[in-house]
Amino acid sequence: MPLYEHVYLARQDITTQQVENITKSIEDVVKKEGGSIDKVEYWGLRQLAYKIKKNRKAHYTMMNINASSEALKEVERQISLNENVLRHISIKVDKFEDGPSLMMNTRSAETSED
C-alpha cells in the first residue's frame, strides 16, 4: 500500500484531548478502510506564520499513514468537514523516516538550550 505523511492544524482554542479525539477519528477511518497508522507525533501548540480564520496559533499533528488512496480520500473528506481543523496536507512518500521527525528534533533542541 502507498505511504503518506499527513499533517493537520487544529484551532488554538480546543484542548489537547480534543486534538487526540480528531487523531483517533482519523485512525478509525484508516483502520476501517484496511490501512494502518505507523506513527503519530503531536508537535504541540505552535505560532502560525499568518492568521488562519482569526487564529494566531494551532495544534500541529503529524501521522504516518499506510493505506490505499481511497482510504486517504475518505480521511481528507472527514477532516475537511471538521470545523476544528484549520488546514491539512497529505504527502505521498517512498518510505517513512526512522526515529522522530525533524520538527521533534528541533523542538527537543530548543528545550535543551533553555
CA distances from 44 to 10, 17, 55 (A): 10, 12, 15
pLDDT digits over 15-46, tens only? 999 999 999 999 999 999 888 998 899 988 99
Kindly report the length of the chain: 114
Alpha-carbon 26 to chain mean position: 9
Alpha-carbon 36 to chain mean position: 14
pLDDT digits over 62-85, tens only? 999 999 889 999 999 999 999 999
Q: What are 46's strand-pairing partners?
A: 58
Q: Rounded to an integer, what distance in angstroms lies between the CA atom of residue 41 and that of residue 97?
A: 12
Q: What is the pTM of this model?
A: 0.81
